[in-house]
Structure formats: structure tokens, C-alpha cells
Amino acid sequence: MNQLDALKQFTTVVADTGDFKQLGAFKPQDATTNPSLILKAVQKADYQPLLASTVAQYRSRPLDEIMDRLLVRFGCEILSIIPGRVSTEVDARLSFNTSATVTRAERLIELYQAQGIHVDRVLIKVAATWEGIQAAAQLERRGIHTNLTLLFSFCQAVACGQARVQLISPFVGRIYDWYKKSAGAAWDEAASAGANDPGVKSVRQIYNHYKKFGIATEVMGASFRNVGQITALAGCDLLTISPELLASLAATEAPLACSLDANAARGLNLPAVSYDEASFRLALNEDAMATEKLAEGIRAFCADAIKLEQLMLAA
């Protein structure tokens, strides 16, 4: 049995891509997209007709609506291949606007429903800012399920659990990147690998907290840099993995053991934790890594959204 098939015994495997033509080979349950992945896809020859036809059909509409229709077009293509859910992201430029995030999310769901897609097959991705988390809480109460992304800290995860969001995506690789860069020449790759990887440790802390306190929010590790980070989180609720790393797992037959255990987590002696807005903002501010990576991630998604708009205007 290869490692990808072994991983599927413990964890729901999700493909992290906008390149839906790659999905069939790996048979993931779900798939995730983001502005950067969609931008990357539409620059490939295979997907340029999809961009062109969407723009041509809706050219008279506002640019933000054309963007959402393009995202939903990709989502529908993905859902025709996978059995589960697709995650589609609200424009990152709304990351600090609760009401606008809710409105945009509702439009995305309406567009999916107009294509015959049931609401339960879509997760609306929202950045895990305080405003984004409050938007997600409203959406969940309205029956729209959410995936809180750009999550780097324990306080973000706790606040998401309090908001009863469907799923969170802690970014393993970007946490690893920050600590490696911060350590500089002192970084010891071997000593910081596997279970000792700072991104892996962050997800394990969140997973244990959720299972200990019966929080139903799903934990989906994301943003992996290497196979070792993935195998160290075998047993996590879900893991979203790039096609390149899915291929690496499929090509490897080394043994794979379950690393996270919900029953063991329930027996841990952990303190109950909760946040209001003020304590959340302070906790996030005190975490330099999370503060920097959250801001950096939002900036990057905003920049890619603008690039995607420029491609639509040129189409």
C-alpha cells in the first residue's frame, strides 16, 4: 500500500489546487482553492477558454461579480470530479469587513445553487481575522458552512471553535517558513522535522484542544512544504495537499502510522480557553509569527485577486 492510500485510512485527503484536470489521479474526497491557485490555473492553456467564456458571458456585469462567477465555474468543474466539498474563497480585500464578507459569501452560494449545487457541498473560505470569524459565525447560523483560512495561531483556532465554524485550515508550511527564516543559520532541519516541526506542533495543539473540549469544528492541516509534515499529522480530520505532494505520497510505500488520536486527546489535562474581541486581538498581537503571516497572506491573496481581475479585463 502506498502512503497516500495509507493516509486515507486515518484522514480525509483533500486536493489543494485549481487545476481540476489533475484531480482524477488522486481521488481526493474534497478540494480547496484560493485566489493564487485560480490565478495559476487560468494562466495555463487548458484553462484559458474557461476564463474567456466566463468573461464573454458576463462582460456587462461588475468585475467583482465576474470574479465570483469564475470562481464558481472552477468550483463546479471540481465538484463534477470529486464526491465531497469544494472550498471557494471570499475576496481577501474584504478580510476586515464582516457585513461585506457575509454578502459576498451569500452571493457565491446563490451562484452555486443556480448551477444545481447543494449548499452542503460548498465551504466558503474566509480569512481568520476577528471580522472574518464573526462573518463565519453569521454564515453558519444561516446554514452556509465555512472554512477559516490563513490560520496561524491557537487564539484564531479557539475563536473559530467558539464561532462554531465548520472547518479551519491551519497553515503548517507557512509557520515552518517563519521559524526557519527567524532562526537563520541556527536552524536545525533534522531537529525541527516531523513531530518537532513548528507547524505540525501548532496543528497538534489545536487538534488536541478541539477533541478534549468536544468542539465539532473540523481541523484541516494545509500549506505543506514536505511529505514529513503530512505524515506527522496522519489522523488529523483532513489534510489538504498539493498535487505534487500527493504524487510523492502515491509513489512511496514506506509504512505510515496514525500520529494524532482523538481518544488520547480527550484524556489530556488541558485548560479551557476562550476569547472575546479584546483578548483575541491581544493574543494575536503577542504572536509575532501569526501576526506577520496573517498580514502577509492577506496581502498576497489581495495582490493575486487584482492580477486575476487584470486578466479578466484583458480577456
The pLDDT-based confidence of 24 (bands split at 50, 70, 90) is confident
Q: Which residues contact 183 (CB under 8 A, 6 or more apart)?
A: none
Sign of the CA dihedral 67, 68, 73, 78? positive
Domains and CATH numbers, the chain: 3-314 (3.20.20.70)
Q: How confident is the model at residue 280 (pLDDT cuts 50, 70, 90)?
A: very high
State the pLDDT at residue 157: 98
Q: Kindly state the cell numbers that stand for 40.
A: 495559476
Quote the pLDDT of residue 189. 97
Backbone angles phi, psi at 294, to 5 degrees: -65, -50
Give the model's pLDDT for residue 292: 98
Task: State the average pLDDT over residues 101-105.
Answer: 98
**pLDDT classification of 127: cutoffs 50, 70, 90:** very high
What CA–CA distance (Å, rounded) separates 75 from 69? 10
In the prediction, which pLDDT does 35 show? 83
Rg (CA), the chain: 19
Query: For residue range 291-306, what is the model confidence (pLDDT) as tens digits?
Result: 999 999 999 999 999 9
- State the pLDDT confidence band at 231, using cuts at 50, 70 and 90: very high
What pLDDT score was predicted for residue 230? 98
Q: Is 125 a catalytic residue?
A: yes
Give this prediction's pTM. 0.97
Per-residue model confidence as pLDDT tens digits over 164-190: 999 999 999 999 999 999 999 999 999
Of the listed 125, 211, 212, 293, which one is catalytic?
Answer: 125
What's the whole-number average pLDDT of the chain?
97
